[in-house]
Structures are given as structure tokens and as C-alpha cells.
């Protein structure tokens, strides 16, 4: 394959080619520098005629949907008549095949640690929805050891989605010696294919023996080094079985053995088999007791962790079925089982956030999570959830504090920069928002979200035309679904909050939100459904003189709020909205039921009593059980007078008093 790019060449008017850093049968990889930002990137180049052998877009199509610290991000895809150029993260570090040349082999301790890191990446890939992703090309040259000694996985050129209905792979590609036997035949590769290749890779790393050199077979590793444990020998042997049914059936199963590798040692088995201790000294008895106690402790901890993960899975199943109360109960049980892990707490916080119960989310994180362990306060994901809930409550000052803390802990997460900048913009700290834009560009992060931030700055200046232009630019450019969703919402908020300045604002709000519904991968996002419910209600009020349009829009509004309830949203505001719409549609029994549910959920809020009083007055005035509804109105009205914290001179109460007098 001839050279595609040359050192010093300026590619695409912004990437200066520094040097070639990799070469394979189908592509060449170059290190390049963005001359505007000073950031370094890897550029992979392939001829389009190689597409007859392999899908050249397989790697970007897979990586663009993934987000994991051990995987590179795709930044740009450039195509001309003859070649495809893929710009992705440049992973600074050394491939393990190069490390092997310098060191010959690695210690068991290091290899086991790397194996655990690789298992975590593979588990992430294998759990992708709707189809697991099978990597299919595990080998030392595709594993980078970063400067901070973390493992990074590169080269997804032959990865594929595993589909249950497929009988075989569409292509055979792999690296001889590392590829599993099924990659040479017609069988479909699955998780066990990656486990085989990982086993061969571990064998190479720990013995220094490549599968492509004598003895050309996988021997028990202790034949090369008696100091290696029986556990690592067992694990590698099981990974590299010719028959997939004899291998580990999942990465999680393999990871469990790596975490309990001591259990395969003869001494451990011997101690475990003994039913009594024969020893002549108290010291020996004590040591044996201590060993058994420690072994028992490890076993108990492993069992607790297994049960913990099982309970979490049960909670997620409940959540997928919109059984939020059962899900929270399950997550709480998991927390009680292993209180030192944050996963269960995080699931509860995310569920409150998803259900738009922002007060509960904030209170839960501050009072239940951060008070448990100091480490929990340094979890960037939990801080981001807290900031998002504060943001939705329009508490932009505190949201900015939470996002800033999250960003300090994890400087590589673009969402933290993005939402921090928007919080600054909405709290009128426009200079700070502009500073974040510069930070994003200088760090080489996803530049497309800067259009979203610029839109927020224009919006704060009431320059709505430019704001909407920038928002739409972000929607068209970004590959980040979350950024796209937030941008749609920001456009809708402009229409919602400026009905006095923008003609047909409710109609435009409905249109942009329905566009979001159709374009976003996540269908029927709950926040968008809530906004649509309100937008259709506002649109209905613009058509009060046109009976059909009025009722049609009310029915659409009703459908959106009922969808929220069926999705597990259970807050007073949703039932208040339902009560009002049912009342407008003169479906009084359903209106009453909604207001009563509102009162049940928020008994101290006077608005449920006010809504019920107005409803009973309306029903009495229309001759619907007049006497009974008059008494209900009077009972609720008297309760309001006695308990309203603002007293009888509250403007809402004064209006209610007039209605009550007219009813008499």
C-alpha cells in the first residue's frame, strides 16, 4: 500500500501531518495536529477499493455511538473519490506489542490487572443495545498502555454487531494466531470469540510466546514459568478452548474468576477440603484460623457483590416496566446490602431525575448520598445528576457549582463543560460562558456543542433570531443525542417564554418539539412530552373560538400528560394539569379524581384545594348534584381559609370568595 499522506502536509486545511504511526493491510494511521487548536489526532486512511474486502465505515459507525474511557472517539469522517479519512482520538501511549519487544514478558500481577481492564471494556461492548458489539481483533498491537498505565482499545475495523437471527458473519477477517476458530468458518462470532482472542493475548503477554512462533500451540503457561499461579493457567486454558461451549460463556464470568484467582491454587483447595486441623502449636491453629477467616471473608464479600448486582438488575427491570416504586425499593435493598458502592444510589437519583421529580432528586443526593461516604461527594456522575436537577429547577447558580465540581474531577467529559456554560449563560454570566467555549476548543473536545452554548448566549441577550440559528446549527452538526435534545428544548423554551413577542409561538413550539420527537433516537422523552402537553394546551387557548381546533388540541395535551403518568411520572403538577384539561373538556369526574390525586401527593399545597373548590362551584352552577357539590365547595373553601399561610387577603382567595358568594 503506497503512502497516502506525507510529513508536514496540511490535510483538510487544518490537520498538519506529523508522522506515520501505524500501518495495516487495509489502512495507514498518521499522527496529526490541528493547527488552529494545537490538539493531536489520529487520522486513519484507506482506499475505497478496499471496501470490497471490508466495510471501511465499520469502525466509525460503531465508535460514534460508544462512550467509554478506554475507547477512542470519532471526531470527523472525510471522503473523496478514492479514499476515506477517519479522524479520531490520538491515544498517547505504547502498544503492548512494542512493550513486549522491550520487556519480553510481563508479571502475572500486571497481566491480571490489564485483563480486568480489558474485561470491563468488552463487557461494555457486549452489553450494547439493541445488539452487542463483538470486537473480533484482540491482540497486543491493538491494546495501548497509556501514560497513566490504563488500557485503551483501538482499531474497530472488523468489529460487528451480534444479531441473534444471523447464522453467520458476513465477512471473515481476523489476525492469524489470535482469531478464534469460528472466525475461520461460517459460524457467527459472539462474546466467546472475544474471550478466545483475549486468552491468546494474555498467553502472549505472560509467557512472551507469540502464537505465531514455536511451539505453535497454546501450552499450559506453568510449563514456561513455574512461578505462575495455577489460577492464571486455568483461566487462560479455559479462554482458549477450541469449542466455544467449553470457554467462559460471558466476560462477566471470566472477570469473576480473575477477581477470585486465588481459589484455583492447590493450597487453597487443600485448606478448604480439610474438615479439621491437625497441629501441635497454638500459633499454627491461630494462623489457620486467620486464613480460614480471611478466605471466608473473601467468599462472603464475593457472594454479597453477586447478590448486589442481581438486585440492581431486578431494579432496572422494574424501571423498564415503569414500576418506579418497585425499582426504588430494589435499589434501596442493594444499597443496604453493600452500602460502600455508589451504583444503587446513582440509579435512584437517575430515576428521580428521569421522572422529573427534581426536588426529590436534589434532596436525595444531598441528604442520603453525600452524607454516606466522603468518596460519594467526589463522584462526577452523581454531581452531574445533581446539577441537572438544579438546572431543571432553574437554580442555575447551584447547577453551575455542581457542574464545575464534576468538571474538575473529570476534565474529559464534554457534557460537564456544555451544561456549565449554559448555566453561566442563564445566570447572566456571559463572559464565563464564553470562557468555557474557549476551553472546549483548546482541549479539542466536541466543538459542535459550542453552537448550542452560543445560542444560549444570544437567547440571554434576547437576540432570538441568532439564537435559533445557532441552535439549529448544533442540531445539524452534533452527533451527541443529549446535546441535540437540549438544543430542541432551548428552541421550544424561546417560543414558550416569548409569546408576546413571537407570532404563533404555541404552534411553533409544538412544531419544534414534534420535530425533536421524530429525530431523536430516544422516542417520547418525558421532559419533551411534558413540554408538548403544555404547548398543545397553550395552542388550544388560541383557538377558543374554533370549537374543533380547541378540543383537538386539548385532547392532544391530555394524551401527553397521560403518557407521563403511564410512564411512571407521579408528581402533583402533572395531575394538576390533567385536572384542568378534564375540567375544560367538562369531564368532571376525571377532573375531580386528578385533583384528589394532586392533593394526595402534595397535601400541604393549597392549590389542590383551590382547584377542587373551583371545580365544585362550576359543577353546582351547571346543576350537577348542586347541593352535594355546594357542600364540597364549602368544605374545601373553609379548609383554605383556615390553613392558607397567606391568609384570607391572598388574591387567589379573594377571587375564590367572590365565586362562593355568587354561588350562595
| C-alpha cell read off for 552 | 383537538
Measured between its terminal Cα atoms, the distance across the chain in Å is 94
Provide the 8-state DSSP code for 349: H
For residue 292, what is its C-alpha cell? 480460614
Question: What is residue 598's three-state secondary structure?
Answer: helix
Beta bridge partners of residue 42, listed in sequence order? 31, 88
Pairing, β 133-134 against β 160-161: antiparallel
CB 200 within 8 A of CB 178: yes
Q: Tell me the C-alpha distance between 195 and 230, whole Å.
A: 19
- Cα separations in angstroms, 332 against 345, 362, 386: 7, 17, 18
3-state secondary structure of 46: strand
Instruction: Give the E-state strand segments of 513-553 in sequence order.
Output: none
**Distance between CA atoms of 405 and 388, rounded to whole angstroms?**
13
Query: Between vectors from CA 136 to CA 134 and to CA 139, what angle results, nearest 5°?
Result: 130
Q: How far from chain centre, in Å, is Cα 2? A: 41
CA 110 to CA 127: how far, in whole Å?
A: 26
The Cα–Cα gap between 344 and 201 comes to: 34
45: helix, strand or coil: strand
Cα–Cα dist 199/202, whole Å: 5
Q: Is 48 marked within a binding site? A: yes
Q: Which residues are annotated as a binding site?
A: 48
Binding residues for ATP, by number, are 48
Amino acid at each position: 500500500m503506497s503512502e497516502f499522506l506525507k510529513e508536514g502536509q496540511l490535510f483538510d486545511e487544518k490537520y498538519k501531518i506529523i508522522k506515520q504511526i501505524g500501518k495495516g493491510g487495509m489502512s495507514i494511521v498518521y499522527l496529526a495536529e490541528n493547527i488552529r487548536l494545537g490538539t493531536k489526532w489520529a487520522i486513519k486512511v484507506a482506499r475505497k477499493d478496499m471496501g470490497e474486502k471490508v466495510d471501511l465505515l465499520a469502525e466509525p459507525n460503531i465508535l460514534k455511538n460508544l462512550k467509554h474511557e478506554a475507547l477512542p472517539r470519532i471526531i470527523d469522517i472525510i471522503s473523496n473519490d478514492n479514499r476515506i479519512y477517519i479522524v479520531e482520538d490520538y491515544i498517547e501511549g505504547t502498544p503492548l506489542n512494542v512493550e513486549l519487544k522491550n520487556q519480553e514478558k510481563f508479571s502475572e500481577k500486571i497481566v491480571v490487572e490489564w485483563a480486568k481492564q480489558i474485561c470491563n471494556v468488552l463487557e461494555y461492548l457486549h452489553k450494547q443495545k439493541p445488539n452487542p458489539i463483538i470486537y473480533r481483533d484482540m491482540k497486543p498491537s491493538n491494546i495501548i498502555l497509556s501514560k497513566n498505565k490504563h488500557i485503551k482499545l483501538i482499531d474497530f475495523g472488523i468489529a460487528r454487531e451480534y444479531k441473534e437471527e444471523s447464522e453467520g458473519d458476513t465477512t471473515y477477517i481476523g489476525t492469524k494466531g489470535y482469531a478464534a476458530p469460528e472466525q475461520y468458518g461460517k459460524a457467527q462470532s459472539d462474546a466467546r470469540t472475544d474471550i478466545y482472542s483475549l486468552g491468546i493475548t494474555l498467553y502472549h503477554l505472560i509467557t512472551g510466546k507469540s502464537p505465531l512462533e514455536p511451539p505453535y500451540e497454546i501450552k499450559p503457561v506453568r510449563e514456561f514459568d513455574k512461578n505462575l499461579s495455577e489460577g492464571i493457567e486455568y483461566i487462560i486454558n479455559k479462554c482458549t478452548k477450541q469449542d466455544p461451549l467449553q470457554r467462559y460463556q460471558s466476560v462477566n464470568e471470566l472477570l469473576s474468576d480473575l477477581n477470585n484467582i486465588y481459589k484455583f491454587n492447590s493450597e487453597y483447595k487443600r485448606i478448604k477440603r480439610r474438615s479439621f486441623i491437625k497441629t501441635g502449636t497454638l500459633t499454627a491453629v491461630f494462623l489457620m484460623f486467620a486464613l480460614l477467616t480471611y478466605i471466608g471473608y473473601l467468599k462472603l464479600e464475593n457472594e454479597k457483590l453477586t447478590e448486589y448486582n442481581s438486585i440492581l438488575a431486578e431494579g432496572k427491570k422494574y424501571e423498564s416496566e415503569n414500576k418506579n416504586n418497585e425499582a426504588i425499593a430494589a435499589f434501596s435493598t442493594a444499597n443496604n446490602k453493600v452500602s460502600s458502592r455508589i451504583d444503587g444510589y446513582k440509579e435512584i437519583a437517575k430515576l428521580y431525575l428521569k421522572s422529573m421529580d427534581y426536588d426529590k432528586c436534589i434532596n436525595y443526593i444531598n441528604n442520603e448520598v453525600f452524607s454516606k461516604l466522603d468518596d460519594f461527594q467526589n463522584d462526577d456522575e452523581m454531581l452531574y445528576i445533581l446539577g441537572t436537577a438544579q438546572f431543571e429547577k432553574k437554580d442555575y447558580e447551584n447547577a453551575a457549582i455542581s457542574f464545575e465540581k464534576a468538571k474538575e474531577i473529570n476534565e474529559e467529559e464534554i457534557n460537564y463543560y456544555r451544561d456549565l456554560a449554559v448555566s453561566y449563560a442563564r445566570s447572566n454570566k456571559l463572559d464565563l460562558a464564553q470562557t468555557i467555549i474557549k476551553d472546549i476548543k483548546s482541549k479539542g473536545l466536541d466543538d459542535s456543542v459550542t453552537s448550542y452554548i452560543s445560542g444560549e448566549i444570544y437567547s440571554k441577550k434576547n437576540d432570538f433570531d441568532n439564537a435559533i440559528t445557532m441552535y439549529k446549527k448544533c442540531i445539524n452538526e452534533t452527533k451527541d443525542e443529549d446535546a441535540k435534545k437540549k438544543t430542541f428544548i432551548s428552541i421550544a423554551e424561546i417560543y414558550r417564554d416569548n409569546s408576546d413577542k413571537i407570532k404563533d409561538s404555541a404552534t411553533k413550539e409544538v412544531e419544534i418539539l414534534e420535530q425533536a420527537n421524530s429525530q431523536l433516537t430516544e422516542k417520547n422523552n418525558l421532559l419533551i412530552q411534558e413540554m408538548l402537553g403544555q404547548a398543545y394546551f397553550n395552542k388550544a387557548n388560541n383557538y377558543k373560538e374554533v370549537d374543533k381546533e380547541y378540543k383537538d388540541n386539548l385532547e392532544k395535551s391530555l394524551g401527553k400528560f397521560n403518557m407521563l403518568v403511564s410512564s411512571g411520572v407521579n408528581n402533583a403538577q402533572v395531575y394538576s394539569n390533567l385536572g384542568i384539561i378534564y375540567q375544560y373538556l367538562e369531564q368532571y369526574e376525571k377532573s375531580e379524581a386528578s385533583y384528589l390525586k394532586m392533593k394526595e401527593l402534595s397535601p400541604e399545597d393549597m392549590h389542590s384545594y383551590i382547584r377542587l373548590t373551583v371545580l365544585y362551584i362550576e359543577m353546582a352552577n351547571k346543576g350537577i348534584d348542586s347541593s352535594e357539590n355546594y357542600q364540597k365547595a364549602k368544605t374545601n373553601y373553609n379548609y383554605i381559609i383556615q390553613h392558607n399561610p397567606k391568609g384570607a387577603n391572598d388574591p387567589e382567595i379573594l377571587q375564590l370568595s367572590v365565586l362562593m358568594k355568587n354561588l350562595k
